Amino acid sequence: MKLKIANAILNDPVFRRRIEKLEELEKDRIFCGHGLDHLLNVARLTMLICQEREITADPDIVYSAALLHDIGRVEEYTMGLPHENAGADAAGKILSGIGCGAEETEEIIRLILCHRKKRSDRGTIESAFYDADKKSRMCSFCKAQAECNWPDEKRNLIIEV
């Protein structure tokens, strides 16, 4: 299945420049990076979690939100802004530039804005997206474990399915 919005984002020059800028800003970062591998892992895990919890999910919305959810890290690293808010602003401009519809834009922005808030409602796409973002990391081989501020209960030290 070819995803319309997600592929338009993937080929958008503004998005691509942001990913390159992030790569540059994170080149000496010892903690988890936020490159394309992480973004796609979040999308794939969200789809799997939605399937497991029987949550209806539009793959184009999920992949689009996943691609855009960390782009605000550019402003977080350079200006100290929370990356979900900066990312939502930047995503809005990218989505407008590619001609994304109002309803889809709203859904994508909502997922970006809530991706750092832990939720108790496991049956929602917001919760699946949050969990996918956290589960997308494998901490057990990480060389920065001693310096990482993730509490033990949040760390992915074993493989869970």
Tokens matching residue 113: 């804005």
| Stretch of 18-26, 102-110, 128-136, 145-153 contacting Fe ion, by CB under 5 A | 128-136
- State the minimum distance, in angstroms, from the CB of residue 87 to Fe ion: 10
Residue 45 near residue 51 (C-beta atoms within 8 A): no
- State the minimum distance, in angstroms, from the CB of residue 38 to Fe ion: 6
- State the minimum distance, in angstroms, from the CB of residue 81 to Fe ion: 16
Q: Is 133 in the site for Fe ion (CB under 5 A)?
A: yes
Q: Can you tell me the distance from the alpha carbon of 148 to that of 103, in angstroms, rounded to the nearest whole number?
A: 38
Site for Fe ion in 37-76 (CB under 5 A): 70
Q: What are phi and psi of 44, to 5 degrees?
A: -65, -40
- State the minimum distance, in angstroms, from the CB of residue 155 to Fe ion: 15
Residues touching Fe ion, count (CB under 5 A): 2
Q: Can you tell me the distance from the alpha carbon of 97 to that of 33, in angstroms, rounded to the nearest whole number?
A: 27
Token pair 């997308």 is at which residue?
A: 136
| Stretch of 19-27, 116-124, 130-138, 146-154 contacting Fe ion, by CB under 5 A | 130-138
3-state secondary structure of 61: helix
Residues of this chain that interact with Fe ion (CB under 5 A) are 70, 133
